[in-house]
Structure 1
């Protein structure tokens, strides 16, 4: 049997590979657009265009490769099978790109898409080979035949996997390297399959050419018998290349149009957010100059947009805010957003209070400008100040009424006893009562003065165990008189605290005196000194008195609110104030049995 071989035109081989890679690149780009699109019709358009482009690319590559092969015998191509090979290339490409265009892609999706794409490339190739009409028959070597199909499937899988593995709709836009890698691999899959498949091809002359020619039934369509000469095939390949170029140009035009529409929409959205915002919005360059401002900025500052243009931030800030502004400006210039309250000087001279946020504007990962968004809170500040003044007046009235009431009672007693003394009815017990009432007045005035003292004094490191020991020494006599025992439990290695010793003593004197006075009979007061975590100490004072109800407990610390017969209520209020000044807390709880437990927390030095 006579065999025939052939040689290749290098220029056409290079053209065929280039065609495969270019078609792959265009197709993958269109597939990426389909993944990005939320519109169903636009998505279908891009998928269809991608499939047609890939199918034409596969088909063109194959027949350019066939034209590159110079055979020693004449050949023609059956038009029907040639057309079928093109349809199969387009359909298999559509199925493959449809699979990888999904939002969520699994490992099996890539395998399935690779089989569809590689199988379509292989099927198109061998149907295209079957379209060859000549006096020679085609035989295939098994190993290269199988190898060509495996190359098409495996390399197609890797091309699609490397291109779409991140599953992000806009990934291809920002990673052209990944898209080009996938296009090159897909081009290799198409070209590699073709040329390895041609290595498997074996042309052998038929013993009797007449037997080779297939008879066509008389009733068959003449379309099945039409053949294309190589020159005509070259023309069709040229038309296909023209169509691919037209698709590329149309895609670029559509892409430009969509990009323009997107840019216009973004500009409209930005304009609406910028100028339609009721809050002050302005853009500041890195030299601190205002380069753009919205309508609300003029309303809030009193300046027109033209007057604000190129003013520096220092032109609008009070001088005492310059240093703070520099610190914040430096941070936001480094890419760190800031949220803070600030003041601006209105054009008329009064202060405008703003709640502001500064956001860095990035260009190529560098801060190019700063956007300031600020809400006018001047009225809110004025209302808060009004409420504070109102609260102060109310508190002053309550204090004045309470002090007047508490002082009037002992003064009335003193006045009455002086009348008795004037009439010569003086007795020793009268002097004792007068002395006790004067002490009561002195106690009220002392507590009132403590309340007026806003700043803690003489902070120093104090041994808490020793401080509580001194307090207990002072109160031990009063406890003994009431048949009350005081037990102290101190945790080992109790740390020092930083405090005003006299004020903290005053707090514990008030707490333990209240505990003693809450118990009508004998009992025990327990004082525990322990650590609370790594940053605090806990002083727990538990008595066995009547306790405090849940309804009354929230009112503790209010001025002149008391739960005992004698007292002013100021002592507990002062205690809350002192502990708050020391960044601590006071909390009242039910004791395990009867009585009340007060827990005082103070920070460790």
Structure 2
């Protein structure tokens, strides 16, 4: 009848006491730290991956690295333990014991690759990883063949599972608690994280070994350890670890290179998109003034197509007089840079550009210096000032008309309060701008139908303007009794929302005629 899994203490039972080889114990700890370091690096690579394929590759290679490292550490630790009995290993069972460790490692890498980890995920993940590594340990122990009975103390067995899961949770926590989910680990932090995780993995094995109870079989004669099988397994473990470690290191370097390349490519694509979609013109030139880049907005402003400009001197985009000045400025600036002067940064000036059709375009140019892989270049951001200049001219004309018009002009807001009045209205009404401003416009006039030629009161006037947008009639001032011929017009925006009224006032002609002598 085969012995039970759990050991129970009885009379006249003698246990075989084993011992550990210190150097092999230290070697197993070193293997677990190396595997932990690779796993943490690949987990970080997975978190920063810019594509799902790169993230999956980092998790897979990291899980393989960690699983193989745990398995190698476990069997080196088993070889470090020498009971006073011959030991052999079942090769098939030994290989199968790798599977639970790999499964646990993939779970650990998927958790470590997350940017955040909830408490429930930390607990469940730690439990799954701990149970998986414990399953690897005990299935690996079952591969041992000796003339002795191996059993496990129930209390220590449960304790080993509890410690396994606790250490697994600790190994996960160092990423999210010690490192912080949003901070980058320093070199000392990375070393500490590697040592803690490596010690946790090794601690799982040696804690579980505390539950082992080896009892000599009655009548069995002690045998010398089967060194050939142990040596074969040791060489196999070393070979597998070296092969997997080399492949993982190569994969890590390849993934790191791909990540850097993809980030650079994505940044370049973002920059190209920003330049192409920018509303302002963007032109970059080298130190000799040769155009390197020319975006669509610059083509819209200046009329030249990119194929006509790129590779040519930027002077073609300027009037002839300014072209020579720019060449001289670049030459002086380059000489100053060679003497260690401050780089050019956002120097703003207004210049005239040369449109393809021969016309001059007023521009605001913000010029800055940049370095592209050790090559100095200059980037100019062009804003077309043509529309702004036209608006400024129109405003100056409108202001001149407003100030010098013979007719009185009054501007009201949407609440019919005075915004401004021109000098002619001041003269006609006898009101100053200071007195009239922010006052209700109707408060300056009589609101009596019999006093108005139209026969309409204020409410009817504003209603008429709301319907037709315009009203014209005669109103009489309260303070002077003088009548005005007044035209009121509503001003609306593109959505037909009222925002101002404009009033034009004329002197009543009858009041301007001189009295005829009787």
Q: Which TM-score tier does this pair reach, normalised by the shorter chain?
A: 0.5 to 0.7
The match for 1:504 is 434
CA distance in 2, matches of 1:269, 1:168: 31
The match for 2:475 is 564
CA distance in 2, matches of 1:88, 1:178: 29
* Bigger mean CA offset, 93-102 vs 116-125: 93-102
Deviation, 1:390, is 5.7
Deviation, 1:275, is 7.3
The match for 1:579 is none
What number of residue pairs does the alignment pair up?
A: 416
* Aligned pairs (5 A) from 1:380-391: 380-388=387-395, 391=398
Deviation, 1:97, is 2.9
TM-superposition CA deviations, 1:527-571 (whole Å, max 9, x none): xxxxxxxxxxxxxxxxx9556424527999x9x96662621559x
TM-score (norm 2): 0.63
CA distance in 2, matches of 1:84, 1:227: 22
Q: Is the 8 A contact 2:164 2:204 kept in 1?
A: yes
CA distance in 1, matches of 2:54, 2:437: 76
1:207 aligns with 2:218: yes
CA distance in 2, matches of 1:507, 1:372: 48
CA distance in 2, matches of 1:9, 1:587: 98
The match for 1:448 is 424
Relative to structure 1, the CA distance from residue 451 to residue 256 in structure 2 (aligned partners, 3 Å threshold; closer, same or farther) is farther
TM-superposition CA deviations, 1:292-344 (whole Å, max 9, x none): 9844683765659976647669x9xxxxxxxxxxxxx99x98xxxx9x98524
Deviation, 1:194, is 1.2
Deviation, 1:14, is 1.6
1:34 aligns with 2:46: yes
CA distance in 1, matches of 2:331, 2:184: 37
The match for 1:72 is 84
Q: Is the 8 A contact 2:351 2:365 kept in 1?
A: no
| Corresponding residue to 1:377 among 375, 379, 384 | 384
The match for 1:552 is 465
Q: Is the 8 A contact 2:475 2:486 kept in 1?
A: no
The match for 1:279 is 281
TM-superposition CA deviations, 1:434-482 (whole Å, max 9, x none): xxxxxxxxxxxx9428589xxxxxxxxxxxxxxxxxxxxx9xxxxxxxx
1:519 aligns with 2:448: yes
Deviation, 1:108, is 2.1
- Larger Rg over CA atoms: 1
What secondary structure, in the 3-state scheme, does the structure 2 residue paired with 1:518 have?
A: coil
* Aligned pairs (5 A) from 1:304-315: 309=330
CA distance in 2, matches of 1:9, 1:306: 78
What secondary structure, in the 3-state scheme, does the structure 2 residue paired with 1:567 have?
A: strand
Deviation, 1:236, is 1.3
Of structures 1 and 2, the one with the larger relative CO (CA 8 A, separation 6+) is: 2
CA distance in 1, matches of 2:275, 2:172: 45
CA distance in 1, matches of 2:439, 2:21: 107
Relative to structure 1, the CA distance from residue 307 to residue 239 in structure 2 (aligned partners, 3 Å threshold; closer, same or farther) is farther
1:122 aligns with 2:98: no
CA distance in 1, matches of 2:274, 2:500: 49
Deviation, 1:192, is 0.8
Deviation, 1:242, is 0.5
* Aligned pairs (5 A) from 1:340-355: 343-344=350-351, 352-354=362-364
What secondary structure, in the 3-state scheme, does the structure 1 residue paired with 2:132 have?
A: helix
CA distance in 1, matches of 2:397, 2:436: 30
Deviation, 1:16, is 0.9
CA distance in 2, matches of 1:253, 1:115: 32
Q: Structure 1, unaligned stretches of length 5 or more?
A: 213-225, 285-289, 316-328, 362-368, 404-445, 453-473, 475-500, 523-543, 574-584, 589-605
CA distance in 2, matches of 1:505, 1:35: 68
TM-score (norm 1): 0.55
Deviation, 1:227, is 11
* Aligned pairs (5 A) from 1:6-45: 6-37=18-49, 39-45=51-57
CA distance in 1, matches of 2:84, 2:144: 14
TM-superposition CA deviations, 1:350-404 (whole Å, max 9, x none): 884328698999xxxxxxx99976332232233324533664687689x45x48x
CA distance in 2, matches of 1:208, 1:195: 30
CA distance in 2, matches of 1:168, 1:275: 36
* Aligned pairs (5 A) from 1:193-272: 193-209=204-220, 229-259=229-259, 261-262=261-262, 265-266=265-266, 268-269=268-269, 272=272
Q: Is the 8 A contact 1:75 1:132 kept in 2?
A: yes
Q: Is the 8 A contact 2:29 2:73 kept in 1?
A: yes
Relative to structure 1, the CA distance from residue 507 to residue 141 in structure 2 (aligned partners, 3 Å threshold; closer, same or farther) is closer
Deviation, 1:83, is 1.0
The match for 1:594 is none
Relative to structure 1, the CA distance from residue 300 to residue 109 in structure 2 (aligned partners, 3 Å threshold; closer, same or farther) is farther
Q: Is the 8 A contact 1:100 1:109 kept in 2?
A: no
CA distance in 2, matches of 1:119, 1:187: 17
* Aligned pairs (5 A) from 1:431-470: 447-448=423-424, 450=426
Q: Is the 8 A contact 1:23 1:244 kept in 2?
A: no
Deviation, 1:265, is 1.4
